[in-house]
Amino acid sequence: MKLKILVVAGDGIGPEVTGESVAVLKEAAALGGHEFTFSERRIGGVAIVQDGTPLPAATVEAALAADAVLLGAVGGNEFNSLPPDKRPEAGLLGLRSALGGFANLRPAFAFKELAVNSPLRPEVIDGADILFVRELLGGLYFGQPREWNRAAGEAWNTMRYTKDEVARVARVAFQLAMKRRKKLTSVDKANVLEVSQLWRATVNEVAAEFPGVAVEHQYVDAMSMHLMNRPRDFDVVLTENLFGDILTDESAVITGSLGMLPSATLGGKVNLYEPVHGSAPDIAGKGLANPLGAILTGALILRHSAGLEAEAAAIETAVRKVLEQGFRTPDLARSNPQGYTVLSTREMGARVRETVKSQLLAASV
């Protein structure tokens, strides 16, 4: 199988972690006799500095010509005073919108081996396995009008959804729920917001197409608490853009580190894959970053853009095995009571690669 992957590594730890993800993908491709080609383009702060814009036209063009786009992270403190449309983050939002993917899948799961990293008690998180489906192209992030009117001392954004925008992402979430535990929780603020009332009514309409899926609705404030109190009760969680942004960072607490979480954005012209974590400028370039979120993001490319389920599962199993063997990046070994072996970004990548290799070789005999 052939796959053209565009890598937009971006800022901070982006280049380090995507480098490890690419290396794992190359290993999996070589073992399976697949032909993956990788090219690179700039996005975010690095593009502001070198190209004068957070999203150069060449990046969009290459992304649209690829089969999948792997993004690292964007953002840096030196850009914090810029207006929203000039910041590194605008590059990412522009790329999301150019690619058109509206369903952002963000799994949040407990790793037995990482339970000690979570401030939640092991018996609360044990077995938790949630799949967030975050709407990615609407809501406050993209709604018009938006403005900071400095003269008037007033600013506004607009949370806006059309029925079609809600229905299409709801359908993706229901389809995923059918393949999982057949439970869907839709999160909104329908006790206050009209846009949430439309959201809820539309989700209920789509639910009629999926009688096998049990649906519940939660208000976002209550949901933020339920996720910490009883994360095991949730299967697929469907929500709008900003609520999804917030709840998915919160849910990293279940896993123990934001550095573990992958994401895939589906439904557009080209799928976009990015770890949930940010650019972490404070640790960039020091070999301290956790590449596992980026590596697990690579697994999602194999699953959703290449149909290589066995290879995707081999990467996921390899990550679990490496953790079982006691290997940790510094973020996963803040306290080190168990005598973990603390690895650098590259060492961790190499461990996973080796393990993927032995997994796939064992499977082929």
Q: Please name which of 90, 14, 13 lies closest in space to residue 48, comparing C-alpha atoms.
A: 90
Catalytic residue (one of 11, 161, 188, 189):
189
Closer to ligand IPM at the Cβ: 263 or 359? 263
Q: Is 245 a catalytic residue?
A: yes
**Residue 20 and residue 118: Cα distance in Å, rounded?**
25
Closer to ligand IPM at the Cβ: 74 or 115? 74
Q: Is 249 a catalytic residue?
A: yes
Applying CB under 5 A, what is the total number of residues that bind Mg ion?
A: 1
Among 11, 27, 113, 245, the residue binding Mg ion under the rule CB under 5 A is 245
Q: Phi/psi of residue 163, each to 5°?
A: -60, -40
**Shortest gap between Cβ of 97 and ligand IPM (angstroms)?**
12
Would you say 21 and 70 are in contact if contact means Cβ atoms under 8 Å apart? yes
Catalytic residue (one of 11, 235, 245, 331):
245
Other C-beta atoms within 10 Å of 250: how many?
A: 15
**Shortest gap between Cβ of 131 and ligand IPM (angstroms)?**
16
Instruction: Return the amino acid letter for 245.
Output: D
89 contact choice in ligand IPM, Mg ion, none (CB below 5 to 8 Å, kind-dependent): ligand IPM
Would you say 96 and 70 are in contact if contact means Cβ atoms under 8 Å apart? no
**Shortest gap between Cβ of 133 and ligand IPM (angstroms)?**
14
Closer to Mg ion at the Cβ: 68 or 73? 73
What is the crossing angle of helices 345-364 and 292-305, to 10°? 40
Please give the structure tokens belonging to residue 312.
């995707």
Tell whether residue 89 is a contact of Mg ion (CB under 5 A): no
Tell whether residue 11 is a contact of Mg ion (CB under 5 A): no
**Residue 49 and residue 74: Cα distance in Å, rounded?**
13
Closer to Mg ion at the Cβ: 20 or 245? 245
Catalytic residue (one of 51, 182, 249, 357):
249
Closer to Mg ion at the Cβ: 220 or 318? 220
92 contact choice in ligand IPM, Mg ion, none (CB below 5 to 8 Å, kind-dependent): ligand IPM
Q: Is 86 a catalytic residue?
A: no
Of 52-60, 164-172, 239-247, 253-261, the segment contacting Mg ion by CB under 5 A is 239-247
Catalytic residue (one of 85, 126, 221, 233):
221
Please give the structure tokens belonging to residue 311.
């290879």
Closer to Mg ion at the Cβ: 157 or 197? 157
Which positions touch ligand IPM (CB under 6 A)? 74-75, 89, 92-93, 245
**Shortest gap between Cβ of 96 and Mg ion (angstroms)?**
12
Report angle CA 303, 304, 310 to the nearest 5 degrees: 15
Q: Is 164 a catalytic residue?
A: no
- Which burial class, exposed, middle or buried, applies to 167 when counting CB atoms under 10 A from its CB (0-12, 13-18, 19+)? middle
For residue 202, CA distances in Å to 162, 179, 329 come to 10, 21, 43
- Which burial class, exposed, middle or buried, applies to 33 when counting CB atoms under 10 A from its CB (0-12, 13-18, 19+)? exposed
Other C-beta atoms within 10 Å of 303: how many?
A: 18
Q: Is 221 a catalytic residue?
A: yes
**Shortest gap between Cβ of 333 and ligand IPM (angstroms)?**
25
What length is written for the chain?
A: 365
259 contact choice in Mg ion, ligand IPM, none (CB below 5 to 8 Å, kind-dependent): none
**Shortest gap between Cβ of 104 and ligand IPM (angstroms)?**
8
CA dihedral 115, 120, 123, 129 (to 10 degrees): -70
**Catalytic positions, written as ranges:** 141, 189, 221, 245, 249
Which spans of this chain sit near Mg ion (rule: CB under 5 A)? 245
